Structure 1
């Protein structure tokens, strides 16, 4: 018995080391990624509350356009990891190259749609002209960074599938450093460079994204060449990558739709409560959602480890190992969620002044962040199980589960808004109905065995 217990402990320690080896660099890289928006928010927030509110709406549109294509990272991670587990490195890199070309094919038309349609896209939210004008100004420039962002997603997915999360970390840190410097210089002007305002913030981010994408694509391309993998676009490979990404696209669409309907509910439900001035509640929601996204990326580090490890284990045919490491990662999610929740609650009163000098935003932000803090332990489990099922190629279930949650959440949050609920109650609905719904659907699936399909192919 003692030997068996010792072996279990050693296995758990081995699992912990493997999770940490992938998750810690991914955690640091994902902390760096939302700093693109946090940096923008900190710089733009000191231009004024209306500019910050405009950034909030523009960022929602931009994050939706890019976020819908997150399957370029997630699907590629799972597929490459499975091929790696099956001992097929050249095939893994070939799948990664197909993903890069798919990113270009999607990015170019998306850039045109968002850039040329900035005004009507912003107009959907119904914000006042004082908020909508800076939103359109930011979005028209920021749209140029969509293709680089999609290439970053695809290249990062390849490296994660190869169990390499350190390289994306280095690129993310360097890119965010460049982004912050360019934001300050271009927004406020320096020497011969004119003051560009909110458009300068968007341009700084685009330039940093271009540089980051170039580095990551170069790294993946060189690795493919070393294995004799062609860099030319393959129509069949690109089409296959697109088909494999459809269920994850639907899953992501439901998540983005939930965030969009949340922003719409904020505009709908808080304008009257604020006496017609919607700048303060929208700016507060923008900061709260940006911070929520920051913490979500922190928790998503374990989900990335789950994608890479689950894909590799199933590719190698190790069902027992998949179950054991899944259980271990869920505990990591719980502990991480408790940690981020406690941390957010403690620093909540200090965060507002970092982004804006508006006292109204400071006061409104604290109760919202306390509600967000309560939802962090649930979010920790949700992100881990989401990563496990993505790594297993269980996209179809994730798509259907997302539709079910959206069908329950959208009426609930819109009803709360129609009743004139304030921002804290809208966030309470977000945490309990949206995150709670995801928790139930993912936990139910993970307890079964239908998702544990072995071999180099996806479970679908």
Structure 2
């Protein structure tokens, strides 16, 4: 193990170094998957707008079905971090064992349900049966088989972050995604599988990643036996995290549904913007993951004052990172869309959403950092409530008006920006108080 955070406050410099070390590790892990998806989007994009639109619809449905991954990853991190901060590392790793059992069982159930309803789900997002819907369905039927592997990898990342193992998840995730990144262009073009080749490459990464993380868990855990009591308590935390994640998915699924009804060029451009958003959001989330581990350990070690100091420290770093990404994307507004498509119509639509995307990044950096603080503290009930309010009050009206009043893809992304802004206001208000910083270990 890499060591634990003690129960007493630490000097500013060591705190910053530990925060940045954990963030850097999380950054690499988080970057691997979306970077592969960006490569995959670029590979598929040159097959044409129908294939790119199909990938966009299929990936959106996959995101909805993997919503349970939020609690097997982030819920496990916060629970494991509290045990780790209290000096009980075996119980922290045990949280990973039980999360992995849940990931496997729930993943298998979702595969069965997903395969039954994949046609109606893709048709609902694609605006009915047609070339884009058929492309999405063919991709999703293959990719969906790997969903248990996705959840097992998320559970593995969760417990490793909780006990502050920073190096091992980097190696495992990079190995799995490197295999997939090599396979995707080969299967799509020389082998001639087209869009299906992308799905098979995804599946290969998911299976390999699951095997690697389970091997590490077997070495670290004193026992792999299921414990229904621990799993039940994890599900309680999972309930609020799933509500929060469902609110996220509904917002982004609604955005994809509205964009698809605007036209093929719009949904293709939305897929480019969405992949860039998810890529950047996950990188910004590296500070949130560091906050989960450090704040959870501090509260587990009965030092709420230190946890509150960490909250604002990580918030500043998240804001700086968001500003940095905003500058980079603003500079690349013309060149970046061309890397994903040669279709002039899709490029034009991407330019229409671009400045909304850029403008929301600084706020997103601070929001994600404070997300990590409250996740580490286990304050998931408030987070679920706030996300639902942001979706209902801010995003949904603007998204529907964008379709009804003809605002175009820019209107859709204005709604997404409002969704982030409402969450920013609520998060800052909550973290300024003390109700979230409850000391002690989990039940």
- TM-score normalised over the length of structure 2: 0.95
The residue that corresponds to 1:274 in the other structure is none
Q: What is the match of residue 252 of structure 1?
A: 245
Contact 2:67 2:242 in 1 (8 A): no
Alignment of 1:292-303 (within 5 A): 292-303=277-288
In the alignment, which residue of structure 2 is the partner of 1:220? 217
**Is the contact between residue 244 and residue 384 of structure 2 (CA under 8 Å) also seen in structure 1?**
yes
Matched residues in 1 for 2:139 and 2:128: separation?
A: 15
Q: Gaps (5+ residues) in structure 1?
A: 1-9, 271-277
Q: Are the counterparts in 1 of residues 54 and 135 from structure 2 also a CA contact under 8 Å? A: yes
Judge conservation of contact 1:127–1:267 (CA < 8 Å) in 2.
no
* Counterpart-to-counterpart distance in 1, 2:150 and 2:39: 17
- Give the SS at the match of 1:452: coil
Q: CA deviation at 1:350?
A: 0.9
1:414 aligned to 2:400? Answer: yes
CA deviation digits over 1:280-324, x for unaligned, max 9?
A: 110000000100111101100000001111100000011111111
- Give 1:328's match in structure 2, choosing from 310, 313, 324: 313
Corresponding residue for residue 153 of structure 1: 154
Q: Check the 8 A contact 2:396/2:415 in 1, yes or no.
A: no
Match of 2:356 in 1: 371
Query: Does the Cα contact within 8 Å between 1:389 and 1:395 map onto a contact in 2?
Result: yes
Distance (whole Å) between structure 2 residues aligned to residue 65 and residue 35 of structure 1: 21
Q: Is the Cα contact below 8 Å between 1:58 and 1:135 reproduced in 2?
A: yes
The CA RMSD measured in Å over matched residues stands at 1.4
Query: Which 10-residue stretch deviates more, 256-265 or 384-393?
Result: 256-265
Q: Give the Cα separation in 2 of the matches to 1:377 and 1:22.
A: 21
* Structure 1 Cα separation of the partners of residues 340 and 175 of structure 2: 22
Measure, in 1, the Cα distance between the counterparts of 2:350 and 2:402.
19
**Aligned partners of 1:66 and 1:146 also within 8 Å:** yes
Secondary structure of the residue aligned to 1:70 is helix
Residue 429 in 1 paired to residue 422 in 2?
no
Moved more, 70-79 or 181-190: 181-190
Count of residues paired in the alignment: 432
Gaps of 5+ in 2: 1-9
Give the Å deviation of 1:25: 1.3
1:257-272 to structure 2, matched below 5 A, reads 257-268=250-261, 270=262
Deviation at residue 429 of structure 1 after TM alignment: 2.3
Deviation per CA, 1:70-97: give whole Å up to 9, x if none: 1110000000000000011111111110
Match of 2:33 in 1: 33
Partner of 1:5: none
What is the CA–CA distance in structure 2 between the aligned matches of 1:54 and 1:141, rounded to whole Å?
13
1:11: Cα distance to partner? 2.6
Kept in 2, the 8 Å contact 1:36–1:205? The answer is no
- 2:7 is matched with none
Deviates more, 1:444-453 or 1:357-366: 357-366
CA distance in 1, matches of 2:179, 2:370: 34
Q: Distance in 1 between matches of 2:188 and 2:111?
A: 23
1:209 alignment partner, one of 203, 206, 210: 206
1:117 aligns to what SS in structure 2? helix
CA 1:201 to 1:12, structure 2 compared with 1: closer, same or farther past 3 Å?
same
Give distance in 2, aligned partners of 1:131 and 1:365: 19
Q: Are the aligned partners of 1:186 and 1:197 in contact in 2 as well (CA < 8 Å)?
A: yes
TM-superposed CA distance for 1:236, in Å, is 2.3
Deviation at 1:425, TM superposition (A): 2.4
Q: CA deviation at 1:188?
A: 1.9
Post-superposition offset of 1:185: 1.9
Equivalences for 1:46-445 in 2 at 5 Å?
A: 46-125=46-125, 126-127=127-128, 129-190=130-191, 195-224=192-221, 229-268=222-261, 270=262, 278-408=263-393, 409-431=395-417, 433-445=418-430
Larger deviation: 142-151 or 393-402? 393-402
Q: State whether residues 115 and 141 of structure 1, in contact with CA within 8 Å, keep that contact through their aligned partners in structure 2.
A: no
Residue 116 of structure 1, CA deviation: 2.6
TM-aligned CA deviation for residue 20 of structure 1? 0.5
Cα displacement (A) at 1:166: 2.2
Q: Secondary structure at the match of 2:11?
A: helix
Q: CA offset at residue 240 of structure 1?
A: 2.2
Which of residues 453, 456, 459 in structure 1 aligns to 2:438?
Answer: 453
Cα separation, 2, equivalents of 1:40 and 1:67: 21
The answer to whether the 8 Å contact 2:398/2:412 transfers is no
CA distance in 2 between counterparts of 1:169 and 1:156 reads 9
Task: Output one character per residue of 1:29-62: Cα deviation in whole Å (capped at 9) or x when no partner.
Answer: 1111112321221111111111000100000000
Partners of 1:375 and 1:244 lie apart in 2 by 29
